[in-house]
């Protein structure tokens, strides 16, 4: 890809104070320390700033110009986003099989587009539908009446249960399970009774789901994942949960049933949200944060239970000072006790 085309693709501004030739063919993206003369590189972490002066890259994406940079600089307000956009121009999944294998089990009442790729040993049940240019890897199970949109990739071992609906351009990584029963039980005199989970899961377009993630089907209505949401591995989403578009859920995040989460939600690793609460748009929760109540739009939270980030940081600093404060308090108690003893002795002498 020509540099000028790449610049237009990512929406950057060229800064070239050393007058280097801009008629260069970019063949890939690489880190600063091992980029070659036809590579595009990037500075997304200031810790690597010193490498600007030694990198052999043809061009480097930066937030602002640097005098010591040897390469052509592509200035962008968000270098990480620009790097991602550029990388997409050089990457595509390489599928080693084409067509629809006779070793796959496809029900006669399933609808599979002719352009879809079905690997050996996939199983597609009755009345399921798979749209154009999908790739279904080995040992994928697609249940009755499930709907898979166009250009989706389901990697090995993915389970899509009955009546799940998946939009276009969705990627589901290995061994994720979509549409298993929600955890619905009622306790009573006769023991623990299962509540049938008769709802479904709806995944909007452009979502990516990590390996070993579970998204439970709803009890009666639907569990819903909004457009362009990105879900890491080992995430658990309970029944009837709604997650707004453009959200990011990091590894081992868990959300209990019937919780409503707004747009642009960001959940750190091993964080959790309790059942039945409502979170507004634009909320961030840090790693291992535990949310126990509904929250309005915006804000960053940490801790268990959740607290505003500034308040949590203050508390962490104070906790580190507790041993010192305890020691000082003990010294003060000893001094007060000594003063009281001295005062008691003086009173005894006055009585004599």
Q: What is the pLDDT of residue 345?
A: 73
Residue 215: its pLDDT value, please?
98
Kindly tell me if the per-residue pLDDT of 341 is higher than 90.
Answer: no
* Residue 302: band (very low, low, confident or very high) from pLDDT cuts 50, 70, 90: very high
**Rounded distance, CA 322 to CA 300, Å?**
25
Q: How confident is the model at residue 228 (pLDDT cuts 50, 70, 90)?
A: very high
State which CATH number among 3.40.50.720, 3.40.190.10, 1.10.287.130, 3.40.1390.10 fits the domain covering 3-88: 3.40.1390.10
**How far is 312 from 195, CA to CA, in rounded Å?**
39
The residues spanned by each domain of the chain are: 3-88, 105-310, 323-352
Calpha distance 323→174 (Å, rounded): 48
**How far is it, in rounded angstroms, from Cα 287 to Cα 309?**
12
The CATH class given to the 105-310 domain equals mainly beta
Predicted confidence at residue 344, as pLDDT, reads 79
**What pLDDT does residue 342 have?**
85
Portion of the chain with pLDDT greater than 90, in percent: 92
Q: Does 3-88 match 105-310 in CATH topology? A: no
Of 145, 275, 140, the residue nearest 200 (C-alpha): 145
**pLDDT, average across residues 280-309:** 97
Active site residues: 239
Residues pairing with 177 in the sheet: 159, 214
Query: What are the CB-based long-range contacts (under 8 Å, 24+) for 27-30?
Result: 27/1, 27/90, 28/90, 29/83, 29/86, 29/87, 29/90, 30/57
* Structure token pair of residue 308: 């505003």
pLDDT over 90 at 351, yes or no: no
Residue 234 has pLDDT above 90, yes or no: yes
pLDDT at 352: 58
pLDDT at 135 over 80: yes
Place of tokens 């810790």: 47
- DSSP helix/strand/coil, 124: strand
Per-residue pLDDT tens over the stretch 171-216 = 999 999 999 999 999 999 999 999 999 999 999 999 999 999 999 9
- Average pLDDT in the 31-49 region? 96
Give the closest residue to 241 by CA, choosing from 285, 282, 197, 210: 197
**pTM confidence score:** 0.89
Give the sign of the dihedral formed by CA 89, CA 90, CA 92, CA 97.
positive
pLDDT per residue over 237-294, tens digit each?
999 999 999 999 999 999 999 999 999 999 999 999 999 999 999 999 999 999 999 9
Joined tokens for residue 185: 């039980």
Average pLDDT, the chain: 96
Residue 190 is classified by DSSP as T
């Amino acid at each position: 890809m020509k540099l000028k085309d790449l610049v237009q693709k990512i929406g950057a501004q060229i800064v070239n104070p050393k007058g280097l030739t801009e008629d260069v063919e970019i063949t890939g993206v690489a880190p600063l320390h091992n980029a070659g003369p036809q590579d595009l590189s990037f500075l997304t972490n200031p810790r690597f700033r010193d490498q600007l002066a030694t990198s052999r890259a043809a061009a480097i994406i930066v937030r602002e110009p640097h005098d010591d940079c040897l390469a052509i600089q592509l200035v962008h307000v968000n270098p990480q986003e620009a790097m991602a956009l550029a990388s997409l121009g050089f990457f595509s999944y390489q599928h080693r099989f084409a067509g629809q294998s006779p070793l796959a089990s496809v029900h006669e009442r399933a609808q599979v587009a002719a352009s879809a790729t079905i690997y050996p040993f996939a199983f597609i049940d009755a009345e399921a539908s798979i749209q154009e240019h999908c790739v279904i890897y080995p040992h994928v199970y697609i249940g009755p009446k499930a709907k898979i949109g166009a250009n989706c990739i389901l990697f090995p071992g993915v389970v899509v249960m009955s009546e799940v609906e998946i939009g276009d351009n969705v990627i589901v990584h290995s061994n994720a399970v979509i549409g298993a029963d929600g955890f619905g039980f009622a306790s009573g005199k006769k023991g623990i009774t299962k509540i049938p989970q008769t709802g479904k899961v709806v995944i909007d377009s452009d979502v990516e789901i990590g390996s070993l993630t579970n998204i439970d089907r709803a009890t009666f209505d639907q569990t819903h994942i909004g457009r362009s949401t990105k879900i890491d591995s080992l995430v658990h989403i309970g029944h009837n949960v709604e997650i707004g578009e453009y959200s990011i859920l990091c590894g081992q995040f868990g959300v209990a049933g019937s919780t409503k989460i707004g747009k642009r939600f960001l959940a750190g690793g091993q964080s959790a949200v309790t059942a039945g609460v409502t979170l507004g748009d634009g909320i961030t929760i840090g790693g291992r944060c535990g949310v126990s109540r509904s929250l309005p739009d915006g804000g960053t939270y940490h801790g268990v239970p959740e607290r505003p980030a500034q308040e949590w940081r203050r508390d962490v600093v104070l906790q580190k000072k507790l041993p010192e404060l305890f020691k000082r308090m003990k010294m003060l108690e000893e001094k007060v006790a000594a003063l009281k003893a001295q005062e008691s002795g003086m009173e005894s002498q006055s009585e004599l």
